[in-house]
Chain A
Amino acid sequence: MSNPMPAKITPPEKKRLQPEARMIEREPYYEPIGDEIALFESAYTSQIPVLLKGPTGCGKTRFMEYIAWKLKRPLITVSCHDDLTAADLVGRYLITNNETVWVDGPLAHAVRIGGICYLDEVVEARKDTTVVIHPLADDRRILPMEKHGELLRAPAEFVLALSYNPGYQSVLKELKQSTRQRFIAIEFAYPNETLESKIIVTETGLDTETTHELIKLAQLTRNLKGNGLDEGASTRLLVHAAKLMQRGITPRAACHSAIASALTDDPEMLRAINELASSIF
C-alpha cells in the first residue's frame, strides 16, 4: 500500500430533508376516539416522548400523520424489523468518491431537524436500539453518536413516538420496563360501531347499510380472537374490503380476499371466516 487513502469526512448537511422525512401538507382524515389529540399535544409541549399502544390497523399510523400535520412538523416513520440495529437509526459511514461520508440515520435526522420520529412496532427491533432510545427519551434528550463522535441535543420541537402492540403473546416481544417507563402511553382500540361506520363511509364512500353489515362481520371475527385467531379484523381491513366492494367486487369475494385471507392461513379458520361472511352477505 504505497498510497493509503486519507479518510476525509464531509460535514453533514444540516437542514436538508432526507427522503424518509416528509411534511404532511394536507389534513389527513382522522376520527379521534378519545382525548388522544389533546394528550399528544400536551406531551409535545412538555417534551415527553409518547408510546402508542393498540392492536394493528386501529389507526396509530394515521394518528401520527394527523398530529404531524397539526403540529406542522416533518414526520419520520421507521418501520422496525428484527434486523434493525442502532446503527440503522443513528447513521453510518458510506463510501462515495473515494471518501467515507457520514450519513445520518432517520433518528439522528429527526433530532437534527426537530421533527417527529415515529418508530413503528418498536418491539420488533434489535435490543441494542434501546441504547439510543433511552437517552433521548428522558430529560437529557440527547443522542450520542459514538462512531461520528458527535452528541446531538434534541431541540424543543423534536418528539419521539413509539408504537407497540400489546397483543403479542410472546415474552420476547415485551417492551422492557426501563423503556416503557420513560413514555406517556396513549391507548388505542378499535373505534365503536358508529365511529367505525363513519370512518369506512368517509374513506370509501360505501353505503351505510353495507358498511353496517361489514362491521357486523368484523365483530364476529373479533369474537374469534384467542380462539384460533391472534387478532380480529381491523378497521384497516374493513376499509380494504369496502374499497373492493366499491370497485364492483361481490361482497363475499371482497371479504374472502380482504378479510379472511388477510387474517389467517389456517384452512379451517379460513373456511370458518368465509362461512361467517357468506352468512352475512
Chain B
Amino acid sequence: MSTDPRLTLVANEPLTAGALDDRLDSLLNPVLSSRRTAAPLAQTLAPLERHLQDFVLNWVEVICRTNYEMAYQFAAAAPEALKQLDPAGAEAWVIQAMDAYDREGLYRGGEVFKNFADYAALAGASVHAVGFEEIAHVLELFVCGLAGRRMKIESALHAYTDTETLYLPPRVAARATKDENFLIYKSLAALLWAQSRHGTFNADLNAACAVYTEPARALEWLNYLETVRLEAYIKRALPGLARDATALRGFAANDPRYAVLESLSATVYDSIALLAKLPLDAEVPRHTCMATLRPQEAAAARASRLAREKDELQSLLTALLEEYDKNSDESGEGDQRFSVDIAKAPSEDGKLAFDLRLDGNPIAPPDNVRNLLDSILQDLGEIPDDYLSPAGDGGVRKDKHETNDPAEVWKSVYHEGDVLFYNEWDHKRRHYRKNWCVLRELDVQPGDGGFVTATLAKYAPQVKQLRRTFEMLRGEDKLEKRMTHGDDIDLDAVIAAYADMHSGMELSERLLVKRRKSERDLAVMFMVDMSGSTKGWINDAEREALVLLTEALEILGDRYAIYGFSGITRKRCEIFRVKRFDEPHGDIVKSRIASIIPHDYTRMGVAIRHLATLLNAVDARTKLLITLSDGKPDDYSDNYRGEYGIEDTRQALIEAHRGGIKSFCITIDHEARDYLPHMYGAANWTLVDDVSRLPLKVADIYRRLTT
C-alpha cells in the first residue's frame, strides 16, 4: 500500500507522448509497420487530459480483441472526437462502430469512427437523454401492436427503415426532459412504421429522383413530402400521438401546397408528382421527428420478402385447393382458380379490404393466408395473378431457403426457419454483441437401444436401490386431519369436540379431513456437454448417468428434458434434442441417449440462452437447469476460450436466473474450482472427481437438489 503523495499526483498527470507511444505500439503492433507507426497517434493523444487518455487506451485494448485495424482507426479518430463528444456520447459512438463492424465489416465500422461529428448531435443534456437500449423493448412492443407483427428495432445513426427493421438513433437528447425525448423516439418509430405500412417504398424512389439535376436533394424533398403525407395519416390513425407530437414541436405544419397529401387516398405517387412543382433548390424543411429514406436497402428487403411470401402463398393456396377439392364433389378446371377482389378505396386505417374467391365463389381464407395476402397487398397494392397460381406438385417448396453454409446464413434474411439468433455478452465492451450466435436445433439420430439395456443390467443392484430411494420421495396423497375445510368429516375430531362441548369448553371448528396430493411442481432441463473433449469414457459415463437418471425421474414423475450442446464457431452452434419436455420416455428417447456422441466445442452461453428459453415456456413452480460438463467454456477461434467465454456464460446464467431458473452444474473438471463458483455461484456446482462414479452420483445429486 502506498501513501506517497507524489505517486497519486503522477497517477493523475497526463501520459507523455513517449509513454503513449510505447503503450500503443505494444497494443497495435500487428497493424503497425515502418510506414505506419504509433508515434503520430501518441502525439495527438498527449495533450489530452489523463482520464480521456485512459478512456482511449482502455477502448483500444478492448477493440483490439475484436480487430486491430478497428482499434487503430479508433485511436486515430479519438482525439478529435473527444473534443466534440461527452463521455456518454463517445461511448455510444464506439458501440455503434463496433456494432457496424460486427454486422457489416471493417469498412462500415471504420466509417462510423470517421463520422464522429454526426454523434455530436447526440451529446449534451445527458441527464435527460434517452438511450436506445432503454426504450428498444418498449418500442418493439409498441410497433408490434401497431403492425400486428414483430418488426425488429435496431440502432443506427439516422432513423430509417428497410421495411423489415426500424433503425432508430442511439440516443435522443434534443429536449430538456426524458418524456419529451422519449416522445421523439415514439414519433420516429410510428413514422417508420407508417413508411413501411403505407407504401413509401412501393414506388422506385431512386428512379423518381434521378430525373432531377440533384437527385440527393430531390430525395430529401421527397422525404419531407412523405413525412407530411404520413403525418396526416398518423393524425387520423393515432390522434393522441399526433397531438403530443404537435405540442412538442410547438406548431402544426400547415402549408396549402401540401393539402393534396393529406387526403385519405394520397399515395407515394402523389408525393412524387408534387415534387415536380416544388422549387427544389430551396432549403428542405426539417424537424426533430423526421427520418431519412434509404430506397436501396428498402428495395432489397422488399424483394426478398416478396419472393418469400410468393412461395409461401403458393404452397398455402395449394393446400387450400386440395382441401376444397376433397370436400366438394366437382373439382374445378383451369389454371387460374383463385382470384382476389380488392376494395376500391382503403378504409380509414389505410387497409385495403379484399375477398378471396375460388372459381368465382368467395371463400374465407385461413388466418395465415389472409395475413400473407394483406402483407403482399401492402407491398404491391394488388395481388398479381402469378402469385395466385398454386405451386406445382403439392407445393413442396418450403425448403428453398435452407442453406448449410454458416457464412450464408449470416448474410441472408432473419426469417429462415430453424435458425435462431442469440446475443452474446462481451464483457470488455460491457455490451451485447447483437444476434452474434447462429443456433440450430437438431435431433440426435436414434441409435442402438441395446446400450440402455446393458447399462441397466450393469448397474442392476444400484438401480434397485435407486428406485427405492426415489419411490420414497414420490409425492403421496396425504390425509390432513382437523381442517376447517375438507372433503369429509373427521370423526375423531367430532367426538373430541362433542366431549369438549359437554365439558363446557369451546367447540373447535376443525372437524374435517382433507385429502391433499403433494405435487412436485418441477421442471428440469439437463444440458449435456457433447464437445469433442468428452470422447471416450467421459461420454460413456455421461450416457450411463442419463440412463440411470431417466429411470429415477420416471419414478418421480418430474417433467424433464435432455438436450446436448456443441458447435464450432459462433456461426454453427448446435443444440441436440435428446428428449423434449412433452416427449414420453420411450424407446426413441432411450436410443437417442445411446447415440449421444462427442462433437466439437463448448460454446456455453448461447446453449444456456436457448435452453432457458425452452425452459421458460414450461409452466412449473420450480425450474432447474442442470449442466453436465467436463470443462471450461471453449470454442474454436474468436477468443471464446478463457475470460470471454466464462463471462458470457455467467451473463447467460444471470439472464436465466432473472427468468426464475435455478442453475446447477455437475462437472468432472478438477480445476472447476477456479471458474465454476464465479459462473454458477458458490453453492451451485459440484465436482465428481471419479468419472466412473458419475452415473450413480448424478441421480444422487439430483435427489439432494430437489428435496
A binding-site residues for B, Cβ under 8 Å: 1, 4-5, 85, 87, 92-95, 98, 100, 147, 169-172, 213, 216, 220-221, 223-224, 227-228, 252, 268-269, 271-273, 275-281
Contact = CB atoms under 8 A, between A and B. Distances in A.
A5 B142 contact: no
B479 interface: no
Interface in B120-152: 137-139, 141-142, 144-150
Contacts of B239: 213, 280-281
Given A100-B489, A271-B138, A281-B240, 18 more contacts: A85-B487, A85-B515, A95-B511, A216-B349, A220-B146, A221-B145, A227-B144, A228-B144, A272-B141, A275-B142, A276-B146, A277-B240, A278-B240, A279-B186, A279-B190, A279-B240, A280-B240, A280-B241
Contact of A169 (B138, B139, B237, B617): B617
B138 A272 contact: yes
The contact size tier of chain B is 20 to 34
A95 B489 contact: yes
Contacts of A171: 582
Nearest to A98: B498
26 contacts: A5-B495, A5-B498, A85-B515, A87-B487, A87-B488, A92-B487, A93-B488, A94-B489, A95-B494, A95-B511, A98-B498, A220-B145, A223-B146, A223-B147, A224-B145, A227-B150, A252-B240, A268-B138, A269-B141, A271-B138, A272-B139, A272-B141, A276-B142, A278-B240, A279-B186, A279-B240
Nearest to B150: A227
Contacts of B138: 268, 271-272, 275
B151 to A, nearest CB: 11
A230 to B, nearest CB: 11
B488 A272 contact: no
A241 B615 CA distance: 36
A268 B141 CA distance: 8
A44 B238 CA distance: 47
A273 B619 contact: no
B535 to A, nearest CB: 37
B372 to A, nearest CB: 16
A20 B150 CA distance: 46
B244 interface: yes
A194 to B, nearest CB: 13
Nearest to A217: B145
Contacts of A277: 240
A94 B144 CA distance: 55
B489 A172 contact: no
Interface of B: 137-139, 141-142, 144-150, 186, 190, 237-241, 244, 349, 487-489, 494-495, 498, 511, 515, 582, 617, 619
A273 B145 contact: yes
Contacts of B489: 93-95, 100
Contacts of B498: 5, 98
A280 B146 CA distance: 11
Contacts of A271: 138
A269 B140 CA distance: 10
Contacts of A94: 489
Contact of A275 (B147, B186, B515): B186
Given A95-B511, A276-B146, A268 B137 contact: yes
A278 B150 contact: no
B353 to A, nearest CB: 12
Contacts of A227: 141, 144, 150
A148 to B, nearest CB: 12
Nearest to B581: A171
Contact of B238 (A85, A273, A280): A280
A277 B145 CA distance: 11
Nearest to B239: A280
B619 A272 contact: no
A172 B617 CA distance: 13
B190 to A, nearest CB: 7
Contacts of B150: 227
Given A169-B619, A170-B619, A216-B349, A278 B241 contact: yes
Most chain A C-beta atoms within 10 Å of own C-beta, residue among B137, B139, B186, B617? B137
A7 to B, nearest CB: 9
Nearest to B499: A1
A268 B142 CA distance: 10
A93 B486 CA distance: 10
A147 B141 contact: no
A130 B148 CA distance: 39
B142 A272 contact: yes
Most chain A C-beta atoms within 10 Å of own C-beta, residue among B138, B349, B494? B138
Contacts of A273: 141, 145
Most chain B C-beta atoms within 10 Å of own C-beta, residue among A92, A224, A252, A279? A279
B240 A224 contact: no
Nearest to B559: A171
A145 B489 CA distance: 16
Contact of B145 (A147, A170, A268, A276): A276
A223 B241 CA distance: 19
A93 B494 CA distance: 12
A281 B237 CA distance: 10
Given A87-B487, A280-B239, A224 B349 contact: no
A272 B139 CA distance: 7
Contact of A223 (B144, B488, B515, B582): B144
A171 B142 CA distance: 30
Contacts of B149: 223
A95 B498 CA distance: 11
B86 to A, nearest CB: 27
A179 to B, nearest CB: 19
Q: Which 5 A-B pairs have the closest CB atoms?
A: A272-B141, A279-B241, A279-B238, A223-B148, A220-B145
A89 to B, nearest CB: 11
A34 to B, nearest CB: 13
A1 B495 contact: yes
Nearest to B182: A275
Most chain B C-beta atoms within 10 Å of own C-beta, residue among A94, A252, A271? A271
Nearest to B521: A172
Nearest to A276: B145
Contacts of B617: 169
A207 to B, nearest CB: 15
Nearest to A127: B517
Contacts of B141: 224, 227-228, 268-269, 272-273
B583 to A, nearest CB: 11
A204 to B, nearest CB: 20
Contacts of A220: 145-146
A92 B137 CA distance: 52
A273 B139 CA distance: 10
A165 to B, nearest CB: 14
A172 B147 contact: no
A223 B190 CA distance: 15
A9 B349 CA distance: 68
Contacts of A170: 619
A119 B237 CA distance: 41
Nearest to B143: A272
A91 to B, nearest CB: 11
A95 B494 CA distance: 9
Nearest to B140: A272
A100 B493 CA distance: 13
A198 B495 CA distance: 61
A101 to B, nearest CB: 10
B488 A147 contact: yes
Contacts of B146: 220, 223, 276
B597 to A, nearest CB: 31
Contacts of B148: 223
Contacts of A223: 144-149
Contacts of A275: 138, 142, 186
A100 B237 CA distance: 66
Nearest to B487: A87
Contacts of A172: 619
B619 A224 contact: no
Most chain A C-beta atoms within 10 Å of own C-beta, residue among B149, B241, B617? B241
